[in-house]
Amino acid sequence: MVIPVKSSTKEKIVAPVKEESTGHEKEMPTQKKLTPYQGKRRAFGHFYCEECDKEWTSANSWANCYQICRDCDTCVYPYKQLKLQKGDGDKKKRKPHRTDLCQRCIETHSCCWLMDWPRKKS
């Protein structure tokens, strides 16, 4: 006994999802939060390389910027970032910034901390 199956002719065809992009902004991926700090200023970053179990800090840490581990060339994002304390940017205290290990320096071909000087109070 065959039961005639009425096949619906109105099959729902799933249309390919069109990307809802404005089309104007190219190369603008949604910025993922790669670092705890998301501000525009410098921050005091704490870095930890899992590969060599090494930890370091940098007073020139930026939002969504990694620093390269000196020992294994791994790109490490800071696990902790603090607002710079007074004196952290002090020239006397400042350790020489490894521009070759800093993403921001590498990408801008300059010293990232120079961009933070002179300070503007808003």
Shortest spacing between CB 93 and Zn ion, in angstroms: 16
Shortest spacing between CB 61 and Zn ion, in angstroms: 8
**Would you say 83 or 94 has its CB closer to Zn ion?**
94
Q: Which residues bind Zn ion (CB under 5 A)?
A: 49, 51-52, 60, 69, 71-72, 74, 102, 104-105, 112
**Would you say 33 or 72 has its CB closer to Zn ion?**
72
Distance CA 9, CA 28 (A): 42
Residue 105, C-beta contacts closer than 8 angstroms, at least 6 positions apart = 97, 99, 111, 112
* Main-chain dihedrals φ then ψ at residue 4, nearest 5 degrees: -65, 125
